Structure 1
Amino acid sequence: MIKSQNVMIKGTKDGILLRLDDSCSFQDLMRELEAKLSFQRWEEEESHKISVRVHTGNRYLSEDQREELEKLIRSAKHLIIESIESDVMLKSEWERKKRESEISLVNKIVRSGQILETPGDLLLVGDVNPGGVVRAGGNIFILGALSGTAHAGCYGNSEAVICAAKMNPSQLRISEYVSLASDLAGEHGRETACAFLGPDNEIVIEGLHALKGVRPQLNRFMEGGF
């Protein structure tokens, strides 16, 4: 039996919450987390995914530590990381998060040769014509037809999504991952569809209902009017 309480696992209505102690060493924390994730009995149904929120208290994670933590949690195949939160962050990170959390509302048609870029989420009321490009540091929501190129999470956010009232793209990009029109055969012309990175870092296109399982943190935004 694991007696240490450096890792607390709490069930919530939206998934599970991992509270990680901020006073022990990072390696001790990782060893205990690995043991508890291995001991836990997860739902065996393949289609059932469990959303995980992680809180690290007053522990600031370096980029390498964050990657190690994410890799360990994702090794449990039914777990999807919703967020990793800390009570502390670098000033530069705080400023970046502030920019990327802002929503830019734009009412226009992005025509061939035009590029529209925002640091946070983009809500575009209009179309993206063939040859047009939209880029966002966060998510992209298009209340119109997407026929050009859309690049969400363009600063490295692999959790970003692309949603369109009509999905007919020439190219989709999420973070550094790309799908060309030829990769999306059979997906063109879909109504109210969303694109996101699947477990193998391939870009997947599904109906909007899929976001509830893969990106539960977007529910409030989507229910608010997309």
Structure 2
Amino acid sequence: MNKDVCRIKGSRRGLVITISAGADFAEVLRQLQEKLSAAEGFFAGAEVKLAFEDGQFSKEQVDALAELISAFGMSLDRAQPVTRYSPAPSVGEAYKEAEPAAGEETLLVRRTLRSGQKIHYDGNIVVMGDVNPGAEVACTGDIVVLGSLRGVAHAGIADRVDAMVFAFRLEPTQLRIAHYISRSPDEKQPQPLGPEVARVVDNMIQISPYTHWGS
């Protein structure tokens, strides 16, 4: 099995593609094309930065990466030079170190998340689609799903107890807000008549119709 030589990760300003130290460029292109093809347009419209764990590719190689990225509807950020990789703090650590002064940023996910797909973000997440069983969404802020939430959702990482989770249909396999955890009931529940919101009330996660939230 070939070593994973490139990794795609979301950041507060877009996507970062990290190239492993000593990676063969042909293998980098092959794996990157394979990963982007498997995502089926999931990253379309995103701005991409490149980071290298060791050294730096030539201008021609960066141009080849930019061409491949462009073929999948993304753009390479050339405003800043390609940088060497340095490990970033975890989402929780980043939030504790620097809470945004003018409100959190929001990541817009314009598709349904299928089983095995995971989105972790320092800020809020809005999913324009469903979160299917086996998919996972986690962030430091709020989670809004404009569809059905049937996977795992964790809002308020770093103990943000004021975070909330909203969905047109709220049926998560596991729901977490800060350090509070709620699981789906074993027995089938009546279908809600409209959107629902989950938040922490009296030291437990409470789910209520969105129209009644805050009343």
Normalised TM-score (structure 2): 0.51
* Displacement of 1:108: 1.7
Distance in 2 of aligned mates of 1:171 and 1:184: 15
SS of structure 2 residue aligned to 1:97: coil
Q: Find the counterpart in structure 2 of residue 207 from structure 1.
A: 209
* Displacement of 1:211: 2.8
Q: Which runs of 5+ in 1 are unaligned?
A: 1-91, 214-226
After TM superposition, the runs of 4+ consecutive aligned structure 1 residues lying more than 2 A away are 92-100, 182-191, 209-213
The match for 2:134 among 128, 131, 136 is 131
The match for 2:199 among 172, 196, 200 is 196
Which whole-Å deviations, capped at 9, do the CAs of 1:122-180 have from their partners, x for residues lacking one? 11101100011101110001001101111100121000000001111111000011011
SS of structure 2 residue aligned to 1:212: coil
* Displacement of 1:100: 6.5
Q: Find the counterpart in structure 2 of residue 146 from structure 1.
A: 149
Cα–Cα, structure 1 residues 209 and 191, in superposed 2: closer, same or farther, change >3 Å? closer
- Larger % of helix: which? 1
For the Cα contact (< 8 Å) 1:122–1:141, is it kept in 2? yes
Q: Which runs of 5+ in 2 are unaligned?
A: 1-94
The match for 1:155 among 115, 137, 158 is 158
Q: Find the counterpart in structure 1 of residue 185 from structure 2.
A: 182
What do you get for the CA RMSD once the two structures are aligned? Answer: 2.5
Normalised TM-score (structure 1): 0.48
For the Cα contact (< 8 Å) 1:168–1:189, is it kept in 2? no
Distance in 2 of aligned mates of 1:184 and 1:207: 20
Aligned counterparts, 1:6-155, within 5 A: 95-98=98-101, 101-155=104-158
For the Cα contact (< 8 Å) 1:167–1:190, is it kept in 2? no
For the Cα contact (< 8 Å) 2:96–2:158, is it kept in 1? no
Distance in 2 of aligned mates of 1:164 and 1:107: 15
May I ask how many residue pairs the two structures share in their alignment?
121
For the Cα contact (< 8 Å) 2:194–2:210, is it kept in 1? no
For the Cα contact (< 8 Å) 1:109–1:128, is it kept in 2? yes
SS of structure 2 residue aligned to 1:123: strand
Which whole-Å deviations, capped at 9, do the CAs of 1:85-126 have from their partners, x for residues lacking one? xxxxxxx86832259611111112111111111111111101
SS of structure 1 residue aligned to 2:181: strand
Which whole-Å deviations, capped at 9, do the CAs of 1:7-60 have from their partners, x for residues lacking one? xxxxxxxxxxxxxxxxxxxxxxxxxxxxxxxxxxxxxxxxxxxxxxxxxxxxxx
Distance in 2 of aligned mates of 1:99 and 1:133: 27
SS of structure 1 residue aligned to 2:185: helix
Identity %: 32
Counterpart AA for 1:193 = E
* Displacement of 1:184: 8.7
